[in-house]
Amino acid sequence: MSIRWDSVLVRAVAAELEDRLVGSRLRALYFDHAARTALLYFREATLVFRLHPERGDVSLQEPWEPVADARPLPARLRSVSARPDDRALRLRFRRVRGRPARLSVVVELMTNQWNALVLEDETGVIRHALWSREAGGRSLRSGARYVPPAASEREGAQEPISLARWQEILGSAPAGEERRVLLHHMAYASRLNAPALLPPSGGSAADAGAHLERGYEAWRRLRDGEPRDAWLLDTPLGLQPYPSPLPQLGGRRCETLLDAFGQAAEAIDTARGAQAAAVPSDLLDTVEAAARRARRRVAELERQRERARDGTAARQIGDLLLARLAEVPAGVSTAVLIDFDNEPVTVELDPALSAADNAQVYYRKASRAKRAAERIPALLDEAVAEVERLDQLLLRIRSGEASEEEILAAVPARSTAEKGRDAGPALPYRAYRSSGGLEIRVGRGARWNDDLTFHHSAPNDVWLHARHAAGAHVILRWSAPESPPARDLEEAAVLAALASRARTSGTVPVDWTRRKYVRKPRKAPRGAVTLDRVKTLFVTPDPELEARLAAGPVDR
């Protein structure tokens, strides 16, 4: 049960995104490798591609504050496009500052191997990949040159074909082979729209000819993309966004395609929740935990592989230091040396070591990187295969196809020690007591923010967070209708500042409101919320205050 993409839908989504976003200013980009989600933080909106095998949808949300690990990328969107009869979107950007000047985000939507990549336009080199993998002879990994999927060779991809050619190809298809011939030869034909393009079986020759003409006219409308529309179709596999009604399917018109995606995604979430309910919750939790561990393993191996690529540079610095020993002053932390290409290079040094010993440090680093580069690819392939295996198991669980015995056999029971390591803290917050005796709950980090805000607070409690800085949510327990005492509120704000990345600033703005005015947008990433009726305090982070407020016991 998942939204299906064909070349008609990809082209229509590209056109809608271009209409709504071209000229918008991108602030940052974040690839959530575990959830296979790509987030593009524009000033005007947040564009979210969910590309997990279970998902495959796109949404345009209100502007979100970038998460702490997002990559700053000041750029302006120039265009959104798709090649003819292709299932890949390309968003082209011109950077406001920095190099390279032009970048693209490519979103591939072939079968269920969905992926997103950041490319340098001039060189075609992949800067970042949502899912690093090898795909049909293509390397979709950071540092590799991007090779797009092969261009469509189906008829009608570049220029429309005539009715006579349509009749020639489909009219001569062997009985029962019409669908296969259509999908193989005709651009923009897909399993989704094929019934609307083919004549029904069993009719007379005259009827078949009339149906061929009607199918050709329907194909021309799909191929030309006119008129542009937005529908939510009722298919045997669930609700399906599409830019055109299809005669064999019921459905309803939507205001935009993105609205249709939102409604389809909501229906999928509801249906999967009901199907998965047949599996014991602790067993489902075990599989999901195993999948999270497997994705963390992939992410860590990818980070190790990136670090291993520094080995060649480390060896070159070692060679340069040995060649320029006499030019390196003693006791310095950096030195500027002329390399073998006659270019200046700034070399980081340990001031406690001699130049020769620093060279040996770089050689050891290069050796470690070489060993890592030799062993990591095989480990990464194994880890990716494990993620895919567990993802397929979760798909079967959520579609109601997996038995309890199959799940137990696929995911062995974990030891008590392993369970303890993943259990996390008993509570998602640390408790403090204000000078006035009020309890203050400070989230343990981004992972637990949502749990604190929506499961460990009351609607009238005061919610606080440092403005424009990643950090913990903070709850001041307070049920009275009037505002809390100023001193207690200020102390809670100081704790919010200390629990943020702005903790070393001189003055930190901290937003606060009642918890009932804090909302979680649908599909928002972990910890992201929207606020109403916000007020702001300016406080100075004071670690001594934190120590004082932590001293008193708190009744839970």
pLDDT of 316 reads 87
pTM of the model: 0.56
Q: Report in angstroms the alpha-carbon separations of 318 from 308, 339, 353, 358.
A: 16, 11, 14, 8
Contact status, residue 394 vs residue 287, Cβ threshold 8 Å = yes
pLDDT of 370 reads 80
Rounded to whole angstroms, the Cα distance separating 51 from 58 reads 9
SS3 513: strand
pLDDT of 384 reads 81
Rounded to whole angstroms, the Cα distance separating 30 from 39 reads 5
Low-confidence ranges of the chain (pLDDT < 50): 274-277, 414-425, 552-556
Q: Which residue has the tokens 């292709």?
A: 86
pLDDT of 1 reads 54
The span from the first CA to the last CA of the chain, in angstroms, equals 43
Contact status, residue 489 vs residue 462, Cβ threshold 8 Å = yes
Rounded to whole angstroms, the Cα distance separating 302 from 311 reads 15
Q: Which residue has the tokens 């890592």?
A: 372
pLDDT of 220 reads 94
Exposure of 186 by Cβ count < 10 A (0-12 exposed, 13-18 middle, 19+ buried)? buried
Number of H helices, E strands in the chain: 14, 24
> What are φ and ψ of residue 81, in 5° steps?
-150, 165
pLDDT of 423 reads 45
pLDDT of 39 reads 93
